[in-house]
Amino acid sequence: MKNLTSYLFRSSRCIAVLLIAMALSCNKTEREYGHPEYFDTVFNRAEHISSLYPGHTLGFVDSAFDAFPRPDIQDLYRKYIFKAHYFIDVDKREAMALLYADSALWAIRDHVDEAEFSNNYGKALSFKAFLLTLKKEFEAAFECCYRARQVVERTHDTCLLSDYTFMLGAVSNGQRKYLDAARYLKQGIVELSHCSISYGKFRLMQAKLDDIGIYYSKGGMPDSALYYYKAALDYLEQHRKDFPNIANSGWFVEMAEAVVHGNMGDVYYKKGDTVTAENLYRESIRVNTQEGYDEGDAQHTRIKLAGLYIAKGRLADAQWVLQGIRHSLDRFPDQQMELKWYRLQFSYLERAGRASDAWPYVPAYLKLKDSLENAKQQEPQFDMNEGYGYMKSQYDLSLLKKDGELKTLYLMVALVFLVMAAGIAATVWQHGKRLKRLNARIIAQNAEMQKALHALEQSQEENTRMMKIVAHDLRTPIGGIIGLASIVLEGQLLDGQEQLVGMIKTSGSNALEFINDLLHVNSALKDMKKEPVEVAALLRHCVGLLQFKADGKGQQLVLETVPVVLPINQEKVWRVISNLITNAIKFSPDGATINVSMEQVPGKVRIAVEDHGIGIPDSLKNGMFKMFTEAKRPGTAGEESFGLGLAISKQIIEAHGGQIWFESSIGKGTTFFIELPLTESSC
């Protein structure tokens, strides 16, 4: 009867909560699309965690959403846009940031015409445009930015509208449409001029006047450029003393004037007036090399001045400026500036007839250039370690405290329903003994199942832990082999040794790829979070990222999609699709076409990756999805294969309730199929 009494108490409590919720809902005159009283705290705490423990941030946000019964439209939008910013600001993965920006747009797609969503929709479109600009997809970025401006234009807020107009100018600059960029900035300045004066508006206005000068200079209109540079200087002088209560406002004006002077020097240099250009450069450097000023701009202007001196043959002056740059870079490192310094130092020494001193700067320049390019391509992996458990427990504790405040109200209502429960208890008393026996048997069976499940989980965790320890310990020495081989290849080798070292580097790279696959074994089912994802967008991004790999073999990726949204884990399904396309590239000949298609079949979505490559022999087909299988072969260009990718892909797809299979003919090609189930909410 103890279980029965507990059941009755819980039932009465649920009824009480339901009635309270109904009463509260009657007081609402219109629908609320979010829960800021809860999620404001969540996202403020997530920002704090991101600054201290970046790797725990997304896990904390997902746990907070799991703990909340029904997140609404505005809550989902905030979640997706937060993750998008996380992936661009912290994790440095532009592709994932773009996917979450698309998810944010999808979340509020049906409410664009509502006032409370129009600004959010414009911000999400603007952020997507920024991400596309980073990928140099300027046409798509311009379209997003233009749509954002159309949405915000309905608010008739010219101050807000000017931000989107300025961004249209920035995207046009990326397209090298410099005169269009200048036109948009001039329009934005007119819109901004209707806003009340503020220190923020003052700083933005002078910056945009300076940018217009830059765009006209790039567009081959030097006189117009000088006009707007002088307008920027006049604006700075006009408002120099307007903000006496702002600390360092005078310092900012001097620094901004120095930046404009450096830009004006570029125009005079192009016009052939090197004397004026030199004077402007020197004045800009004099101001911004002061303590606390813009040392980065001073470095940039010194680079230009050194180039002017070398071009004019004033080598002593060039040497003096280059020494100043070196001293500045030692105090304020900037790898891009250092790259330019190497190039100028080489030019100076070569012009001075010191070729033997100049050539050592060439390998240093190339090494730094390669390092910057490699760093740009790397995508750091998201890692959730044991510290997350502590953060989650602390957050759960805060929820329990909040829940405690409601218990008093629940108890009072529960007393009313206890009277009702007494009548119910009389009715079900005759079934009590049978329920008691059944309950005891269920408890016993559940205890046995829990023991077995615990033993299996411990065994699985131990195997995974050992595998990751081995893989982690191997990464460092193998990475060292590759690094040493690269250094040796850049130096002078004896005859016959270059090929040997190249083989060492290739072997090390293959081993490192194998270890990366090991680190993903058994990870597909752990902590898997699902959320609505536009599958067509995911496929487009995946194909776009892998096209460069196909270009290396002269291959073409062809994509056909239909609009479908599924509740999936984006990152894991992304890995499956990438693996299948990579395999198709690997086992297809040069110049081949690879088709990636998606179609909706009854109750499911089917994705196919079709190649026209070498095909899979019957002797290997049964082992294709097995872990550590022997069914592996080199690609058509000798690419290495480790036999782990398809096994991991099968785990991921089956964890989504789907299936994966293939059809293949020797010499004709292979098609891999993925089917994922549709839900009632899929569209």
User: Is 405's pLDDT higher than 70?
Assistant: no
User: Is 420's pLDDT higher than 80?
Assistant: no
pLDDT computed for residue 450 by the predictor: 81
The percentage of the chain sitting over the pLDDT mark of 90, rounded to a whole number, equals 33
pTM listed for this prediction: 0.51
- For the segment 200-211, the average pLDDT, to the nearest whole number, is 92
SS3 3: helix
pLDDT computed for residue 643 by the predictor: 58
User: Is 380's pLDDT higher than 70?
Assistant: no
pLDDT computed for residue 388 by the predictor: 31
User: Which of 488-497, 574-583, 590-599 is the most confident on average?
Assistant: 590-599
CA distance 39 to 58: 14
Residue pair 334/353 in contact by the 8 Å Cβ criterion = no
Band of pLDDT at residue 308, cut at 50, 70 and 90:
very high
Assigned superfamily of 32-156? Tetratricopeptide repeat domain (1.25.40.10)
Q: List Cα–Cα distances, 297 to 329, 343, 516, 681, in angstroms.
A: 12, 19, 41, 53
SS3 501: helix
> Which of 258-272, 285-299, 446-460, 632-646 has the lowest average pLDDT?
632-646
Residue pair 185/172 in contact by the 8 Å Cβ criterion = no
Give bridge partners of residue 677 from the DSSP assignment.
604
| Residue with token string 């040997």 | 500
The conformation of residue 246, written as its DSSP 8-state character, comes to: S
Band of pLDDT at residue 196, cut at 50, 70 and 90:
confident
CA distance 19 to 410: 11
pLDDT computed for residue 237 by the predictor: 93
Quickly list DSSP for 626-637. Answer: STT-S-----TT
Of 179, 103, 128, 56, give the one whose Cα is nearest residue 567.
Answer: 103
- Kindly report, residue by residue over 39-61, the tens digit of the pLDDT: 999 999 999 998 888 889 999 99
Higher pLDDT, 660 or 683: 660
Angle at 132 between CA 130 and CA 136, to 5 degrees: 110
pLDDT computed for residue 605 by the predictor: 95
| Backbone φ and ψ of 603, nearest 5° | 75, 0
CA distance 302 to 324: 8
Of 528, 471, 531, give the one whose Cα is nearest residue 652.
Answer: 528
Mean pLDDT of the chain: 80
- Kindly report, residue by residue over 86-100, the tens digit of the pLDDT: 998 888 888 898 899
> Which of 223-237, 481-495, 600-614 has the lowest average pLDDT?
481-495
User: Is 272's pLDDT higher than 90?
Assistant: yes
Of 514, 538, 554, 491, give the one whose Cα is nearest residue 645.
Answer: 514
> Which of 241-245, 372-376, 538-542 has the lowest average pLDDT?
372-376
User: Is 629's pLDDT higher than 70?
Assistant: no
- For the segment 330-340, the average pLDDT, to the nearest whole number, is 90
CA distance 315 to 96: 49
pLDDT computed for residue 82 by the predictor: 92
> Which of 84-98, 141-155, 165-179, 183-197 has the lowest average pLDDT?
141-155
pLDDT computed for residue 384 by the predictor: 29
> Which of 193-202, 435-444, 580-589, 638-647 has the lowest average pLDDT?
638-647
pLDDT computed for residue 145 by the predictor: 85
Start-end of CATH 3.30.565.10 domains in the chain: 531-677
> Which of 60-69, 289-298, 359-368, 379-388 has the lowest average pLDDT?
379-388
First to last CA, the chain: 48
User: Is 631's pLDDT higher than 60?
Assistant: no
User: Is 291's pLDDT higher than 60?
Assistant: yes
- For the segment 580-586, the average pLDDT, to the nearest whole number, is 91
Sequence length of the chain is: 683
Higher pLDDT, 409 or 555: 555
Higher pLDDT, 434 or 670: 670
CA distance 520 to 382: 12
The percentage of the chain sitting over the pLDDT mark of 70, rounded to a whole number, equals 74
CATH of domain 531-677: 3.30.565.10
- Kindly report, residue by residue over 644-657, the tens digit of the pLDDT: 678 888 989 998 99
| Residue with token string 């329009």 | 187
pLDDT computed for residue 581 by the predictor: 93
pLDDT computed for residue 111 by the predictor: 84
Start-end of CATH 1.25.40.10 domains in the chain: 32-156
